[in-house]
Amino acid sequence: MTTFSYLQRSARVSRDNDTEIATRRFQVFTERQLDQIPQLARLDEEQRFAMRVVANVLPFRVNQYVIDELIDWDNIPDDPIFQLSFPQRGMLSETQYQRMADLLRQTDDRGAIRELAQTLRQELNPHPAGQMQMNVPKLDNQRLEGIQHKYRETVLFFPSQGQTCHSYCSFCFRWAQFVGDKELRFSSNEAGRLHDYLRRHKAVSDLLITGGDPMVMKTRHLEGYLKPLLGKEFEHIHNLRIGTKAISFWPQRFVSDPDADELLRLLEKLVKNGKQVAIMAHINHWREIDTPIAREAIRRIRATGAVIRSQSPLVAHINDDPQVWATMWRMQSHLGIIPYYMFVERDTGARHYFEVPLKRAWEIYRDAMSRVSGLARTARGPSMSAGPGKVEIQGVSEINGEKVFVLRFIQGRNPEWVQRPFFAKYNPQATWLNHLEPAFGEEAFFFDAEYRQMQERKLCPVPLS
């Protein structure tokens, strides 16, 4: 009996024992259906109006599974999954909020609302860290829209069929993918161009399928992008990563969706043919993986030979508590998920509502790490995915009488920057790399001059060797 035939048999048993959850129909609500969510009747009219205001600027989409299974409606508005899923007034500045609120009180003209929303979105740094200018590569002197290549070994691909999600995260740094403004969106349906690029770049070992959420795609579309990579000409592509929130927001994708079994057969086939498949799971709170259907999804994925790695930003109102992280990492280790990254909330969208000072982020990381066993200490962070690379805050120290942040690159646009320590003046209010200044009287960080040259040349990526 093959591994997957066992999977199919055991999954049928799980469905029989959990029929009500497993056979749930997928239903979503957007800004226009806010009034159709019965649970929101608990909120007063002003709170519901505030949601509508914010949802006309930032993307909003939530499904019935999240509403019914993950949110504690007796703890509103403080419930972390509610904060993760539903718009809050503080996500816009007071000026931005009042401009949209005044317009909505005056008119229901969708064109006027859309025009103001587009103006306000441009104030929210829709594509941070040089994504538009420096990350998009070229092939035969043509930009490859829908592909990013920031680090030498790893290419990101944004399939057009995967540029939405089962539900949206309110803090998402890729919120611009979902607001309908074509000029803000990465996507591509050109599998051939992706494969041509990978074929020519032998230094690339990892392909990350991202979005949006690739798991909103039908399996046949995902297979069209991945199956050709089993050919001999792609032997240098060792690792296939798939970024997804589906384990949390729609675990039925791996259990009871019409093509769930087909999806798992694809993962198993990729693994059996020598590829390492990593499901890069976005898990922000331990409650997301504490339902029977989520645990069944995790079990089924792991049975294919794929590995699940977890990553999340540290965000206020949701998980800015070391006990939440310790509980989550312990639970993940028990379920066979590898903790991978704790990120710092990026400088985009509603960052002023969600950001946590770097000092506090490091304290939460340190305290959480001290509460878990060694198997759960694989998560790196807190890490800023900034323009020059992924910068990790290693701690706060005092050197020659000066209090400093100790930093290093986990990834860098120039691989020679990786693992090289550097120091910044201690700033307890800083929330991002650009808030930091070099320590010890230095005029610049060691990478600054080279990075400025890259920006001027719009270099993407560093020369591949």
> Do you find a cis peptide bond into 461, omega within 30 degrees of 0?
yes
Q: Over the stretch 69-90, which tens digit does the pLDDT of each residue have?
A: 999 999 999 999 999 999 999 9
Same domain, residue pair 71 and 198: no
Would you say residue 188 lies in a domain?
Answer: yes
Would you say residue 47 lies in a domain?
Answer: yes
Beta bridge partners of 359: none
- CATH code, 299: 3.20.20.70
CA 366 to CA 256: how far, in whole Å? 39
H/E element holding 421? strand 421-425
Same domain, residue pair 108 and 147: no
Tell me how crowded residue 192 is: count the other CB atoms within 10 A of its CB.
9
Same domain, residue pair 411 and 287: yes
Same domain, residue pair 286 and 354: yes
Q: What is residue 68's DSSP assignment?
A: I
Same domain, residue pair 109 and 142: no
User: What is the pLDDT confidence band of residue 110, given thresholds at 50, 70 and 90?
Assistant: very high
Same domain, residue pair 101 and 171: no
Two tokens at 360? 């506090």
Q: How many domains does the chain have?
A: 2
Would you say residue 2 lies in a domain?
Answer: no
Would you say residue 17 lies in a domain?
Answer: no
Would you say residue 189 lies in a domain?
Answer: yes
Domain's final residue, options 90, 122, 154 = 122
Cα dihedral 341, 346, 351, 354 in deg (nearest 10): 10
Q: Over the stretch 206-250, which tens digit does the pLDDT of each residue have?
A: 999 998 899 999 999 999 999 999 999 999 999 999 999 999 999
Least trusted range by pLDDT, from 66-80, 268-282, 393-407, 451-465:
451-465
Q: Could you give the 3-state DSSP secondary structure of residue 444? A: coil
> Do you find a cis peptide bond into 382, omega within 30 degrees of 0?
yes
CA 411 to CA 151: how far, in whole Å? 7
Two tokens at 12? 């049928």
CA 34 to CA 104: how far, in whole Å? 15
Radius of gyration of the chain (CA): 22
Give me the domain span that covers residue 399.
131-457
Would you say residue 5 lies in a domain?
Answer: no
* pTM check: above 0.95: no
Question: What is the DSSP track for 16-76?
Answer: HHTHHHHTPPP-EEEGGGGGG-GGGGGS-HHHHHHHHHHHTTS--EEEHHIIIII--TTST
Same domain, residue pair 184 and 327: yes
Same domain, residue pair 256 and 377: yes
Same domain, residue pair 232 and 111: no
User: What is the pLDDT confidence band of residue 136, given thresholds at 50, 70 and 90?
Assistant: confident
Same domain, residue pair 433 and 374: yes
Least trusted range by pLDDT, from 15-19, 49-53, 152-156, 384-388:
15-19
pLDDT at 2 exceeding the cut of 60:
no
Q: Over the stretch 40-77, which tens digit does the pLDDT of each residue have?
A: 999 999 999 999 999 999 989 999 999 999 999 999 99
Two tokens at 446? 């060691």
Q: Could you give the 3-state DSSP secondary structure of residue 6? A: helix
Would you say residue 463 lies in a domain?
Answer: no
Least Cα distance to 87 among 66, 58, 108 occurs for 58
